[in-house]
Amino acid sequence: MGLLSPWFLAGLGALALPVYLHLLQQHKTTPVPFSSLMFFERRTQSSIKHRRLKYLALLVLRLLLLTLITLAFAQPFIQREVKVDPSEKRIMLVIDRSLSMRAGSRLADAQRAAQGVLDRRPTTQPAQIAALGARLDVLTEPTTEKGNLQAAIASVEAGDEAGAYGELSRALRMSVTNDPRAIEAHLFTDTQQSALPAGFADLALPAGVTLAVHGVAPALPVPNWTVETVSAPSILWDPKKARVQATVAGFHTPAAKRTVSLVVNNAVTATKQIDVPSAGRASVEFEGLEVPYGASKCELRLDAADALAADDRVLFSVQRSDPKRVLLVHESRDPRSPIYFRAALTAAAEAAFTLDTLTAEQSSGADLSRYAFVALADAVPLAAFVEKAQRYVSGGGSLLVAAGTNTTKQAKIPVLDLPVSEGQYYSRSGQRFSVVGDADPAHPSLRRAGRWEGVKFFYAVKVEPQDARVVARLSDRTPLLLERKIGEGRALLFTSTFDNVANDFPLHPAFVAFIDQSARYLGAMEDRNAATNVSGFVELRSAKEQAVSVEVIDPDGKRPLSLHESTQAQTFQLNRAGFFEVRRANGRHEMLAVNPDRRESDLSLIPAETVQLWTAGGNGSANAAGGGPAAFTEEPAKKPMCFWWYFLLAAALATAAESILASRYLGVQRE
């Protein structure tokens, strides 16, 4: 016996109220006029008799009434065994559709086993079909229509996702929460070990759920080779400098020679043979990548003859374009800044940019629309150039400003309009130079440049940040790197110089990384992978690009997004392998190469003991992998039976008795 709402027992404290009311009754007498009390002796009359409770039967009824009401709200129950009618139990047949089910005849065997379980079920028992990949997709509602269930089983196709047994257990827990009927689940799978969640607790089954795992994979490990990883440039400017590297892995495989081919737009351009050790890995590299201008579909193809052919190739996309132009404006008496800036840009960006340099006096006639971004190296440009640069940045361009002694001659930083207070000098002797004290490593300019350890600063310009974001500060809290949004564009301010005079920054490797990352950030050339895995997401629009149409084309050439989704969706899930094309409203097109999840390449099986622990988590007996047919018999189960309404009925009777008795005791007695 138990209580569903035990907290209502606190209402038993109200039993003190009737007792208190009954004790309030006091002995009262009618005063009688008398002449004098001087001859009477003072004495105290005992009041014990008057402090006794009166009307005990009425008090008992009132206490009983409050007790019954409290117990009714607490909802007492008892457990009783009941026989479950098979028609009240749901049957769920779950077929694994992960990538590994493509090996051999695993999917066909799973469908055949599911059809056998469906045929043995009672015709009055509802069943539903589901497919398990990275998530559980329910294909039918609970129904007794055998034709619909058979069609759903036949419609399951193996996908490119990794299996996730934890998603099945989570879905079963949610299903029992929404529908308290018992569930008899059958999982038809190859029991791949990579499908297990990180924590075994994620496999916990709720009460009322039984699980039978039907294994369709052979008991011995299946050998499998795969192209595990690929490293290739996503944007290509110089085909001769391109390198394509890949790793070929073998799982439960003997030592063997394998041939790897480089395919560009369905044409084989290069072939290499490698030695893959027993159950090991080997790397292969192709130098040079001849692709036409625009987006190219590339792949590395393995000649592996194994049971799982879907992972014998890896796709990647390459976008070839001409290098982007960058303009650097400097003072005519400053030859060092262009040298250091050009060397860093050339060394890091792999011919992604070509640099044009102009002196401050020559800058007024420059056409800024030709450049990916513009840099000012401690220059005092002419007013005409400043106005042109302001329009350029406000319209979506980017600017990099390095401030030095020339900048302090002005009241404000050019284009950014940040007030200049003074120039801060630090001594070159001793240890009185300044260093970076605080930096935001999440900013794109510092993501790979570290914290600039060992860089010495001898001079910096003090500016008022106002609404600009301070990315880095010196040890004395002087802002060193700031970013400010100007219209549709952005501007970076470095409060020192690139000339190796105000600092020794150009002599450190961090300078190359800083220039490289800043150039890619300002030139809208963010790093992206040449290939990604299935089930990932691609961002379609930023927060400010609302109601802007973005077109997505899948590997079959179809448009998976509706007209409404193309103008409202923020992201799109890449749910299959192949090449996806994203066409944005600003004219920018992207080719995305999506590959199957490589976790599926290892066909190792879950130990039988682990399967038994998983299936033993629900009610009923455990069913090991490769279990036999379902019994479909009536099974006794325990269900709670509440009888709170009995207490309410007794409380109603006590209320009637209390009313009758109170009328008799407390009513006015007439002679």
Co-location of 473 and 555 in the same domain: no
Rg over CA atoms, the chain: 40
Stated length of the chain: 671
Residue 216 has pLDDT above 90, yes or no: yes
Neighbours of 292 (CB within 10 A): 11
407 in helix, strand or coil?
helix
Co-location of 444 and 569 in the same domain: no
Q: Do residues 602 and 251 lie in contact, with contact meaning Cβ atoms separated by under 8 Å?
A: yes
CATH number at residue 255: 2.60.40.10
22 in helix, strand or coil?
helix
Co-location of 137 and 207 in the same domain: yes
CATH number at residue 383: 3.40.50.880
Q: Is residue 52 in a domain?
A: yes
Q: Is residue 264 in a domain?
A: yes
Co-location of 617 and 654 in the same domain: no
Q: What is the DSSP letter of 181?
A: S
Co-location of 368 and 502 in the same domain: yes
Q: Is residue 532 in a domain?
A: no
- The string of pLDDT tens digits covering residues 291-346 is 998 889 999 999 977 889 999 999 999 988 888 899 999 998 888 999 999 998 88
Q: Is residue 528 in a domain?
A: no
Burial (CB count within 10 angstroms: exposed 0-12, middle 13-18, buried 19+), residue 440: middle
Secondary structure of 476-543 as H, E, C letters:
CCCEEEEEEEECCEEEEEECCCCCCCCECHHHCHHHHHHHHHHHHHHCCCCCCCCCEECCCEEECCCC
Domain boundary among 271, 302, 321: 321
Co-location of 248 and 301 in the same domain: yes
Average pLDDT rounded to a whole number, residues 379-408 = 88
Higher pLDDT, 273 or 181: 273
- Sequential DSSP letters for 310-340: TTSEEEEEEEE-PPEEEEEEE-TT--HHHHH
Q: Do residues 552 and 565 lie in contact, with contact meaning Cβ atoms separated by under 8 Å?
A: no
Amino acid at residue number 575: N
Neighbours of 233 (CB within 10 A): 20
Neighbours of 667 (CB within 10 A): 8
Tokens of 523: 């030139």
Co-location of 432 and 484 in the same domain: yes
CA distance 106 to 641: 46
CATH number at residue 618: 3.40.50.410
End-to-end Cα, the chain, rounded Å: 54
Number of domains in the chain: 5
Q: Is residue 43 in a domain?
A: no
- 551: domain range? 537-591
What percent of the chain is predicted at pLDDT more than 90?
Answer: 38
Q: Is residue 531 in a domain?
A: no
Co-location of 620 and 651 in the same domain: no
Amino acid at residue number 308: L
Q: Is residue 658 in a domain?
A: yes
Q: Do residues 324 and 295 lie in contact, with contact meaning Cβ atoms separated by under 8 Å?
A: no
Co-location of 339 and 415 in the same domain: yes
Residue 3 has pLDDT above 90, yes or no: no
CA distance 278 to 272: 19
CA 368 centroid distance within chain: 41
pLDDT of 400 reads 94
Q: What is the DSSP letter of 354?
A: E
CA distance 109 to 624: 17
Co-location of 479 and 574 in the same domain: no
Q: Do residues 333 and 350 lie in contact, with contact meaning Cβ atoms separated by under 8 Å?
A: no
Domain boundary among 489, 522, 555: 522
pLDDT of 671 reads 44
Residue 20 has pLDDT above 80, yes or no: no
Tokens of 343: 């060397």
Reported confidence tier of residue 629, pLDDT bands at 50, 70, 90: very low
- The string of pLDDT tens digits covering residues 106-162 is 999 999 999 999 999 888 888 999 999 989 999 999 898 999 999 999 999 999 999
Co-location of 454 and 507 in the same domain: yes
Co-location of 397 and 541 in the same domain: no
Q: Is residue 36 in a domain?
A: no
Domain boundary among 522, 550, 574: 522
Q: Which run of H or of E encompasses 563?
A: helix 563-568
Q: Do residues 380 and 476 lie in contact, with contact meaning Cβ atoms separated by under 8 Å?
A: no
